[in-house]
Homo-oligomer: A and B are copies of this chain.
Amino acid sequence: MPQRSVPTIEDVARVAGVSRSTASRALLGGASDLARRRVEAAARQLGYSPNPVARALASGSGLRIVVAVHGQHAGQLDDPYTTRVVAAIAGAVAAQGVGVSSRWLPFDGTAAQVLHELGQDRTVCGVVLVNTTEALLAALPRSLRGRVVSIGIGAPGVPCFDVDNAGAAHVILRHLYATGRRRIVMITGPGWLPCAQRPVTAYRDFMAAAGMPVRLVGGDFSARSGREAVAQILARWPDTDAVYAISDAPALGALAALHEHGVGVPHDIAVAGFDDVPLAEFSAPALTTASHPVERIAAAAATAVLAKRSAPVTMFASELIRRRSA
């Protein structure tokens, strides 16, 4: 007597000729081979798929991944990078019936408290940290153990996923060097952000190895900071022949500023960024940059949280995108 509603695990068990619990175990991958085969067959036959809500309630696991973004202000959640991460995860987890939501982890002492709340929250199945610092990793509540990953730096028990930004820096610097640039200024990211230091270190090493001067200007990933950096650069080092920005937004800001100052790009000063944002191709001149597979990184991080297992470190390659600006 086929019933018209969605089949439950009870139905599967009945068809497979086992108890409900055995069916459950089999579907979770933990019964005898024979049982598992029969249960799987029954499930396939009935077109069964488990109800994640019931599963979550019974196992106490939750149904949403929270993207927890550390930063100065809540506006961080709307910034283009965070936005891409969240949206990519939203697409990646759709098939498992899971959702994503986002949360700001402030700089004042409350970040740890927010993390604690997330650990207690029965609706949360995992957390993806963005813009992680060592302090934050140290403040992770044990209630989150085993279900948190990081995009950026990691820690024991906290798998991390990120683009190989040291590698990206190298690729870009080599290109600038190969095209004759020798006085290369770098516009950095915020000093508190560990993974933003990796390209800086790469830059330092590269410049030292090549016997070229280290010239750093502070920035914060914003186009505005790139524009402001240019004023400093032109004032402090008039002989600059290249600007390498930690990401495309400041690079585009720099481009705008150089244009306003009447400096020719790439003739007088070459400009390179990092990220290959959609509009990088449409600046004047088109921006030379390096790719940053944000969507793939975010999806991998989300998948790892759900699977509750992953390699401790996963790096994604970046490649040079050569255009007109350098």
A residues lining the B interface (CB < 8 Å): 6, 51-54, 56-57, 62-67, 77-78, 80, 82-84, 86-88, 90-91, 93-94, 97-103, 120-123, 223, 227, 249, 252-253, 255-256, 259-260, 278-279, 281-284, 286, 295
Can you name 19 A-B pairs with beta carbons within 8 Å? A6-B120, A53-B122, A53-B123, A64-B97, A67-B90, A77-B91, A78-B87, A83-B84, A83-B86, A87-B102, A90-B90, A91-B101, A97-B121, A98-B99, A98-B123, A99-B123, A223-B278, A255-B282, A260-B284
Decide yes or no: A94 and B101 within 8 Å by CB, A54-B57, A278-B223, A281-B223 being known contacts.
yes
Main DSSP-derived SS at the A contact region? helix
Given A252-B279, A295-B78 in contact, is the A90-B86 Cβ separation under 8 Å?
Answer: yes
Q: Which 10 A-B pairs have the closest CB atoms?
A: A99-B99, A64-B99, A97-B123, A94-B101, A83-B87, A86-B87, A256-B282, A90-B102, A259-B284, A223-B282
Task: Using known A-B contacts A281-B223, A282-B253, determine if residue A90 contacts B84 with beta carbons closer than 8 Å.
Answer: no
Cβ–Cβ contact A101 & B101, under 8 A: no
A269 to chain B, nearest CB (A): 15
Chain B residue, CB-CB nearest to A95: B101
B123-A63 in contact (CB<8A): yes
* A101 neighbours in B (Cβ, 8 Å): 90-91, 93-94, 98-100
Chain B residues with Cβ below 8 Å from A64 are 63-64, 97-99
Whether A94 contacts B82 in the complex (CB less than 8 A), given A99-B99, A102-B87, A123-B53, comes out as no
How many angstroms between the C-alpha atoms of A64 and B53 in the bound complex? 10
CA distance A62 to B288 in the complex (A): 46
- Which residue of chain B lies nearest to A66 when distances are taken between CB atoms in the complex? B94
Most central of A90, A120, A227, A278 by chain B CB within 10 Å:
A90
Q: How far is the CA of A93 from the CA of B90 in the complex (A)?
A: 13
Q: A63-B123, A253-B282 are in contact. List 5 more A-B contacts (CB 8 A).
A: A53-B56, A54-B57, A64-B98, A249-B278, A259-B284
Question: B223 to A65, Cβ gap below 8 A?
Answer: no
Closest B-chain residue to A60, C-beta based?
B53
The CA-CA distance from A54 to B123 in the complex, in Å, is 9
Distance to closest chain B CB from A116 (angstroms): 13
Whether A100 lies near B99 (C-beta < 8 A) is yes
A260–B82 CA distance with the chains assembled, in angstroms: 33
**Alpha-carbon separation in the docked complex, A283 to B53 (Å):** 48
Bound Cα distance from A253 to B284, whole angstroms: 10
Say how far A276's CB is from chain B's closest CB, in angstroms.
Answer: 13
